[in-house]
C-alpha cells in the first residue's frame, strides 16, 4: 500500500506541475513489494495483482530502487519518535548522505533480491487439467498411394499379417474377395473417424450433433460403427445401401482414389454418370466438386479435351499460285476399289485421279488393278488427252507403306523402274509430299472426296459394267470441272469462273456454238477469253485463297519451339 500511495502522490504532483514523471526515482525498503512490482502482475493473487497494475500504470519498474532499512527516513516515523528527537534527526530532514551524491554511489541491489521466498505466498496457484485426446492412426498412410486397387491390396496384406500374428490358423494363399472387402470397409471407417470424429462420438453417446456440424442436415446414424445417411427413402423399394449410403468427405485422399477408380472403370465418363454410380453406395460431401477435381487431374481426359495448338500456315508453293497451262503441274492419287459387273461375277477396279494444281481441273481414268503396267497405260491416256505435265506430285512412301495391301501395291507401281523411266524420258519431275503430312496433298484429296460423294449419291448400290462405270466417271469429271472456283456474287453479270473455262473456254456441258467461218478471228477471241479467265483467276480465286488459310483462335495458338515435346493428333 505504501508503494501505491507513493505512486499516486507522484502522479498527482506531476499532473499539477511541469515535472516529468518518468524522471522520478522511487525508493522502498520492502524487497517483497519490489519483487511484486518488477514481476508480471498476472502471477499474483487478485489483491496484489490489482495494486501492482495500478502502480505500473503510473510508473515503470526501472524507476523503483531498493533503500536499506537502516537508511530509510520514513522508518523512524513508523517506529514512534518524539518531536524533540525528530527536530535533531538529520536523516529525516536531509535524507541519507548518498542521496545528494552521484547515482553511481547509490546503494546497489544484492543478488538475494532476485529470488524472494515470501513472494510465493501471493502467487496464483496453477491449476493442472489433464487433457487426453485419442487419435486414430491407420495402418498405412493412404497419401503414399496413387492407385485405389493397390491401396486395398496392400491394406489387405497388412491385415492378414496382423491376423496371422494373433491366430494359429495362418493364411498364405492369394488374397480373397472377402479380404479386399474387409480392407475397403477398414478405409471407410478410417475416413469417417478422421473426418467426423465429433459426430461419431456424439452419436455413440446418444447426444445431439453440434450445431456447426457439416453432416447434421443429413440426419446421420451409426450402423456397425459406420456413419450412414438418414435421408427420406426409408419406404423406397431399393437396397439398404441406396437408402442409407455411407457418408464420406470428398477432400480425403482415399475418397479421391475411389472417385478416380470409378471414373476409369466407367471408361472416363463425365461427372453426372460417375456421381450416379458412386451414390448407389456412398454419399460424398461436395461430391460433384470432388469429382470435377479428379476428372480435371485425369491425364487421358485432359489430353482428349485439350485444345489443339494452331500454327501459322506456310505459304502455298509456287506451283499452286503461278498461272500455267492446265495440268502442267499435276497431282495423282487413287481411290477404290469399285466393283464392276461382268457376265458371270464381278471384278474390282480403281479410280486414277489427275488434278491440276492451278486451275483445279481434274481428269479421271478407270484402271482394272494397281499394277505398274495398268498405271502407265492410264498415265499415257492422260498425257494423250491433257498434254505432258512437267511436274507430278504424289503421296510420300510412308503413306503407301501402311498396312493396307492395296496401298502397298500402289506404291510399288508408282515407284517401279518402268514408271521412273517414263518420267525421265519425257522430262517429268516427280515430287513427294512431306512424310506424315497428308494435308500437303489436300488439293487432290478434296477432289477424291467429291468424286466418291458423287458416286455414292448417283449410283448407290447399283452394280455397273465397265463401260457404264466409265461413262459415269466421265460424267462426274465433267460436272466437277464445271464447279465454280469462287463464290457467285448476286449482282455479278459475268459468267462464274470454273476449271472447264481453262480447258475448253466454256462450261461443260453448254449450248453448241455456231459454225466458225473465220479461224484467225476465232483464235484471237479464244486468246482474249483465256486472258480474261486468268485475270479473273488472279483477281478472284487467288485472292480468295487467303480467306481459307487464316489462323483461327490466334490467341490460343501454342508457341511451339524447336526441341519441344508435342503430341500429334491424327484427324
User: Peptide bond before 13: cis, by omega within 30 degrees of 0?
Assistant: no
Distance CA 234, CA 163 (A): 37
Per-residue model confidence as pLDDT tens digits over 467-519:
888 888 888 888 888 877 777 655 555 667 778 877 777 665 554 555 555 56
Where does 216-354 have alpha helices with state H?
240-243, 253-265, 271-278, 287-296, 299-305, 318-321
Per-residue model confidence as pLDDT tens digits over 36-76:
777 777 777 788 788 888 888 888 877 877 777 766 777 66
Domain ranges of the chain: 1-122, 142-305, 325-483, 489-509+521-537
CA distances from 514 to 511, 517, 522 (A): 10, 9, 11
The whole-number pLDDT of residue 6 equals 79
Determine the Cα angle at 429 with ends 427 and 431, to 5°: 165
Q: What is the mean pLDDT of residues 290-317?
A: 82
Distance CA 395, CA 411 (A): 9
The separation between CA 40 and the C-alpha centre of its own chain, rounded to angstroms, equals 56
Where does 322-435 have alpha helices with state H?
372-386, 397-400, 405-414, 417-425
- Please choose, from the candidates 113, 364, 144, the residue with its C-alpha nearest in 3D space to the C-alpha of residue 253: 144
The whole-number pLDDT of residue 461 equals 76
- Please choose, from the candidates 147, 99, 122, the residue with its C-alpha nearest in 3D space to the C-alpha of residue 49: 122
Please enumerate in sequence order all residues whose Cβ is within 8 A of that of 525, keeping only pairs 6 or more positions apart, or say none: none
Determine the Cα angle at 344 with ends 338 and 345, to 5°: 30
The whole-number pLDDT of residue 399 equals 45
The whole-number pLDDT of residue 494 equals 63
Least confident of 108-117, 168-177, 219-228, 456-465: 108-117
Q: Which helix (H) or strand (E) holds 331?
A: strand 329-341
Residue range 325-483 in CATH 3.30.420.10: yes
Distance CA 495, CA 213 (A): 79
Q: Residue 539 — pLDDT band, cuts 50, 70, 90?
A: low
Residue with more model confidence, 227 or 548: 227
Inter-residue contact 256 to 294 (CB < 8 Å): yes
Protein fold of 142-305 = Endonuclease III; domain 1 (1.10.340)
Distance CA 335, CA 449 (A): 9
Amino acid at each position: 500500500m505504501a508503494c501505491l500511495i507513493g505512486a499516486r502522490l507522484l502522479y498527482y504532483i506531476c499532473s499539477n506541475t511541469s515535472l516529468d514523471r518518468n524522471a522520478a526515482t522511487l525508493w522502498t525498503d520492502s524487497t517483497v513489494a519490489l519483487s511484486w512490482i518488477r514481476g508480471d502482475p498476472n502471477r499474483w493473487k487478485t489483491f496484489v495483482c490489482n495494486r501492482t497494475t495500478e502502480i505500473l500504470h503510473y510508473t515503470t519498474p526501472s524507476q523503483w530502487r531498493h533503500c536499506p532499512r537502516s537508511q530509510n527516513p520514513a522508518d523512524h516515523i513508523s517506529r514512534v519518535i518524539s518531536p524533540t528527537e525528530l527536530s535533531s534527526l538529520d536523516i529525516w530532514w536531509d535524507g541519507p548522505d548518498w542521496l545528494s551524491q552521484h547515482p553511481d554511489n547509490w546503494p546497489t541491489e544484492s543478488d538475494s533480491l532476485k529470488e524472494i521466498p515470501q513472494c510465493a505466498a501471493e502467487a496464483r496457484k496453477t491449476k493442472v487439467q489433464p487433457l487426453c485426446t485419442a487419435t486414430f492412426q491407420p495402418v498405412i498412410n493412404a497419401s503414399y498411394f496413387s492407385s485405389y486397387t493397390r491401396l486395398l491390396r496392400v491394406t489387405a496384406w497388412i491385415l492378414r499379417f496382423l491376423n496371422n500374428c494373433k491366430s494359429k490358423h495362418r493364411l498364405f494363399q492369394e488374397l480373397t474377395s472377402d479380404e479386399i472387402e474387409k480392407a475397403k470397409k477398414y478405409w471407410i471407417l478410417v475416413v469417417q473417424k478422421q473426418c467426423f470424429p465429433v459426430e461419431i462420438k456424439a452419436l455413440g453417446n446418444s447426444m445431439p450433433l453440434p450445431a456447426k456440424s457439416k453432416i447434421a442436415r443429413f440426419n446421420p446414424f451409426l450402423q456397425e460403427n459406420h456413419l450412414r445417411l438418414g435421408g427420406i427413402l426409408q419406404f423406397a423399394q431399393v437396397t439398404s445401401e441406396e437408402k442409407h449410403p455411407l457418408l464420406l468427405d470428398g477432400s480425403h485422399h482415399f475418397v479421391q482414389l475411389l472417385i478416380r477408380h470409378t471414373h476409369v472403370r466407367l471408361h472416363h465418363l463425365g461427372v453426372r454418370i460417375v456421381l450416379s454410380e458412386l451414390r448407389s453406395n456412398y454419399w460424398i460431401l461436395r461430391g460433384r466438386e470432388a469429382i470435377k477435381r479428379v476428372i480435371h487431374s485425369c491425364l487421358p481426359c485432359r489430353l482428349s479435351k485439350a485444345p489443339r495448338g494452331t500454327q501459322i500456315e506456310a505459304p502455298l508453293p509456287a506451283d499452286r499460285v503461278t498461272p500455267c497451262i492446265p495440268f502442267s503441274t499435276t497431282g495423282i492419287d487413287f481411290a477404290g476399289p469399285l466393283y464392276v459387273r461382268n457376265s458371270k461375277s464381278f471384278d474390282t477396279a480403281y479410280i486414277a485421279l489427275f488434278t491440276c494444281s492451278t486451275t483445279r481441273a481434274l481428269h479421271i481414268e478407270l484402271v482394272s488393278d494397281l499394277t505398274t503396267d495398268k498405271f502407265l497405260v492410264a498415265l499415257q491416256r492422260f498425257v494423250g488427252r491433257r498434254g505432258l505435265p512437267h511436274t507430278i506430285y504424289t503421296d510420300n512412301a510412308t503413306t503407301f507403306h501402311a498396312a493396307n495391301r492395296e496401298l502397298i501395291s500402289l506404291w510399288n507401281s508408282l515407284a517401279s523402274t518402268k514408271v521412273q523411266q517414263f518420267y525421265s524420258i519425257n522430262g517429268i519431275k516427280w515430287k513427294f509430299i512431306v512424310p506424315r503430312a497428308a494435308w500437303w496433298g489436300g488439293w487432290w484429296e478434296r477432289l477424291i472426296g467429291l468424286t466418291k460423294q458423287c458416286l455414292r449419291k448417283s449410283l448407290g448400290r447399283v452394280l455397273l459394267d465397265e463401260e457404264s462405270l466409265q461413262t459415269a466417271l466421265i460424267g462426274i469429271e465433267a460436272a466437277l470441272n464445271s464447279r465454280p472456283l469462287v463464290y457467285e456474287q448476286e449482282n455479278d453479270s459475268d459468267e462464274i469462273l470454273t476449271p472447264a473455262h481453262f480447258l475448253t473456254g466454256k462450261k461443260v456441258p453448254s449450248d453448241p456454238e455456231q459454225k466458225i467461218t473465220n479461224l484467225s478471228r476465232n483464235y484471237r477471241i479464244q486468246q482474249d477469253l483465256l486472258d480474261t479467265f486468268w485475270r479473273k483467276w488472279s483477281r478472284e480465286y487467288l485472292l480468295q485463297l487467303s480467306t481459307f488459310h487464316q489462323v483461327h483462335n490466334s490467341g490460343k495458338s501454342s508457341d511451339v519451339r524447336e526441341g519441344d515435346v508435342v503430341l500429334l493428333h491424327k484427324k
